[in-house]
Each structure stands twice: as structure tokens, then as C-alpha cells.
Amino acid sequence: MISQCKTFAETKLWQRHVLCHRKNCSGGTLMARKYIKRLLIISVGFIGLGFGLAQGTPLSTSQELSGEVSAAVTDWINKGKVYLSGGQFEAARESFEEAIALNYKSSEAHFGLGLAEYERGDYPAALFAFSEVARLYPEFFDGHFNKAITLSKLRRFDEAAETFATAIEEADPEASDEQKIDAYLGYAGMLKRIERFADAAEAYNNALELRPGDTELAYRKGEALYLDGNGLEGLADLIELETQTSDYRVSALISDIYIQNEQTDYALHALERSLRKAQGAADSKAESFLSMKLGLLQTSLGQDEEAMASFGRAAAADPSSWEAHYHYGISFLALGQPESALGSLQQAQALNPDSPEVNLALASTYDAVGMTNEAAQISQIIVDLLDSDELSALEQDELATAKFFLAKADFMQGDFETAMDKFEDVIAAKPDDSIAYTWAGLAAYTLEKYQTAIKFNEAAVAIDPENIEAKVNLGSSYYKATDYENAAIVYQLLIKANPNDAESFYNLGLSLLAQNKPEQAKEALTKASELGFTAASQTLAQYF
């Protein structure tokens, strides 16, 4: 018989006389221009594991053992099964170990031991047990299947894919069609993990042949083709599928395929059509998701105001969606309205407090509205969340940005030495960040470490020649370090960029005076005075 199936979200492994498989969870994709990483949720397909092998796995040595020993083996196995069903996994493990000690070739004992170890959370031990089932009885589906599941739990995705393939090869005659489908689902999930999307699409197609008309399998096949860059191959089937299901993911995927092929008008029409359908069906979750997809597409097309309206509709349709509030807040930031962004991002953070990107967007918004202490508090949350030696490039960038806000808070509180040290940490992580160099230079300048300030500001300008703040600070640092010639050069560059820069004319005049060039100094100071810089008039009166 086929056991009752449970969802991937449930945690209890259901014990039946055949394998019970958890269905894969499929996610969607979210994108945005800033502070947002593309999240592609690919299902792995962990399943509930039953004990006992399907269709009466033989105990290969049962005829060779004495009746007394054979009875003892059976007794220990039966005890293990009872302990498993009662959730006493430690006792179950001990029982199966006793059975193995009497008959190492007992497939049921190894299989039961694997289940007990899996339930105990000792996945390496479970892997060994299931591997022994697969080694001792290579023709049986169950051992390979559960070995693959455990490998996926250990995130050894390449090996898991290979083992699922072996399970599929050994499926006949033992496995039912439903078990074969679950094996194909597990195989496809691992192939997606290792980015073999074309092979994943083929696996989903094989599952579809066993279960024709399954809309979920059809969707996943189309998604895999899209991820492989060949979405058009599945577009016709997806458009047909859209007429058969209310699943909004299908409409979103159709839109993604149009975008993949640079057909943005078709993508917009597909999303608007599916959005109208969701609204007509009063499906608020679908309306929110599709509105977000529409907003992201509008953002990519530079339609920021339209995108804001779409994100606002998404948040209103599903107030429990952190993504909707997040994107709505980001849309205000894109229009230069951080004050308006604050409420939405606070709501997103309340709904998803463990998201580094949400916290980073909120910290950035606090910083933009001058709430430096609040920015630092949120940034510390990010630092705590990303306390790991194994971070992705994106996570490393998020961590460095959070540390930047912490350093800035120290600076604003007057702890310039600590601030400079922290800015240097940011620079080490982001050596091309002109702003971090600028703030490090400002901290050094405040500490009267002018040569250090020169070094930081020179680097900032080299990275970004348009960084006016760094140029101004560089000129001031040169002047304080009595390098008047280089100070004058910097101020001349600033004046060239902005001929009405009265302050730079004034500072140029002072630099020329310090070099004993009175005529040139007078000319620069006069220009500064004409532009309304009061101090220039006073200096002219003093020296000329």
C-alpha cells in the first residue's frame, strides 16, 4: 500500500510499512535593484522515512542461522520497530544494533538503524546505515532512496543526485509508480541544487509520464527549463497550464520567460492579466505576489512611480507579507523618500527580523534620515546574524555595510579612534568603497593624523574622481600637513569642476598665501569675496 504523504514543512517522520515521501516545496523569485538579492527557492525534497523494505525484503541469512539466533534477530527488530513507532529513538537504535550484532546481513536491522539515527538527528550515522543497506542489497530501491535523502540532508548534493539516479535504476519491480515519482522529484531537486537544470527538467518530464496531467510537475518542468535559459521550450505548455489552474506561480513564470527573451510588453500583459484574475477570485495572496512581480518588472523598466503603486497594492493585499512591505519601502528609497520608506521597512523587519537584507535596508533608511543610533542598533543585529566564517559574497558585503554604520555611529558620538579602526575594517572588506575611505579620512583628520587622512582621501578620490567630499577633505588634509602646493592643486581642481565654488577659491587663496604667492592669492580671495564668501573679504582686508 502507499503511505499517507505529508508536506515538507512538517517535522514528524511518519512510520509506515513502506516509505512515506514528503512532497517538495517550490518557491518563487524576488528581485530589486538595491539591498535586494535574488532569492531562488529550489525544493530539495526531504521525505518521511518508513521502516522495512517494500515487497518483503529477504533476510539473506535467515536460512543459514540457527532457529534460536534467527528468532533473536527477529525479536530485536520487532522491538526496534515498536520503539520507533513510539518515538523512543535511542532505544530503537540499541535494538537494531543488537540485531546487527547477531546478523550483520540483516537488511531490516540496518534499515531500522538508519531510521532511528535519522530521527535522532545523527545524519552521518544514518548515512552509514542506509549505505550498508545499499551495499548489501544493491538491487533494492529503498536503501538507495533513503541514502540519497540523508545525503541531501547533509547537503552533499552531487552525491545525493547520483544516489537518486541509482534508486531510479533499481526501482523495478520493487517500487510503485508513486515511489518512482518521488525518486524523480528528489533527483530533480538535487540537480537544481547543483544547477543541472536541463537534467532536472528531464527528470520532471519522466515523473510527468508516470502521472500525466499533474499541474505541479508541469510547472516544475517549465521552471527548470527557464532556469536553464530555455524557457521558450516550455512556454506553450505553461500557457496551456495557466488555463487549467489558478496557481499564480504559473503566470509569474510565463512573465519571467518573456523577460528572459526581452519581451517586456508581453511580460507586463501576462502579469496584468493574471493579476486581474487573482483580484476577481479574491485571492489576496496571489494578488500580493503578482503585484510584487509587476512592481519589480516596472522597476527594471525605470517606471518607479508605477512600481511604487504596485508594491503598495501588494502590501495592502497581504499585510502579513514581509516581502511586500520590504519592496514598498525600497520603492520609496528609489524615489529619494527615506522618511516615507521607514514605516514599511519597520513593518518588514518586524515580520522577518532575521533577514540581513531587510535589516540592512532599514539601517540604511535610518542613516538617511539622520537616526544614526537606530541605524547602529539594526546594524548590530546584522553583524550578529552574519557571525560566520562561511559567508557568500553578498553576505560579506552586507556585513561590511553594517559595520560601516556602526563606525559612523562611533564617529558621531565622538569616538574617532574607534571609528577610524572600524572604517579600516570596512575598507579591508570593501577595498573599492570610496565612501568608507572618505569617512576614515575624516576620522583621521579629526584626530589630527593628517598624513593618514591624506592616504585615505587620496584613495577615495582615486576610486571615485567625482567624490567631491573626499576632494575637499584631501585639500584640507594637505593644508594641515603644510603641503600647500598639493592643497592648491586640489582646490584648483574643485574650482574647475565648479567655477562658482566660493569656499574653494578662499582655500586656494590661503594655500597660495602660504606659498608666498601674494598676487595669485589676492586674485583667488577676491573671486571668493565676489561670490559672497565673507571670510575672504576679511582676509583681503588683513593682508592687502
- The pLDDT tens digits of the residues spanning 423-436 come to 999 999 999 999 99
Cell of 504: 574653494
Alpha helix stretches (DSSP H) within 228-263: 232-242, 248-260
Q: pLDDT at position 243, please?
A: 87
Give burial (CB, 10 Å; 0-12/13-18/19+) of 534: exposed
d(CA 362, CA 342): 7
Q: pLDDT at position 237, please?
A: 94
d(CA 263, CA 265): 6
Say which residue the cell 539601517 belongs to. Answer: 363
Q: pLDDT at position 68, please?
A: 66
How far CA 481 is from CA of 267, 355, 472, 477, 509, in Å, comes to: 59, 45, 14, 6, 17
Q: pLDDT at position 173, please?
A: 85
d(CA 54, CA 50): 10
Domains of the chain: 1-194 (1.25.40.10)
How do residues 50-95 score in pLDDT, each as one tens digit? 322 222 343 344 445 556 668 888 888 998 899 988 899 999 999 8
Q: pLDDT at position 354, please?
A: 95
Q: pLDDT at position 41, please?
A: 21
d(CA 182, CA 144): 13
Among candidate residues 237, 210, 291, the one with its CA nearest the CA of residue 220: 237
Regions of the chain with pLDDT less than 70: 1-69
CA atoms within 13 A on the CB side of 146: 39
Q: pLDDT at position 220, please?
A: 96
Q: pLDDT at position 44, please?
A: 26
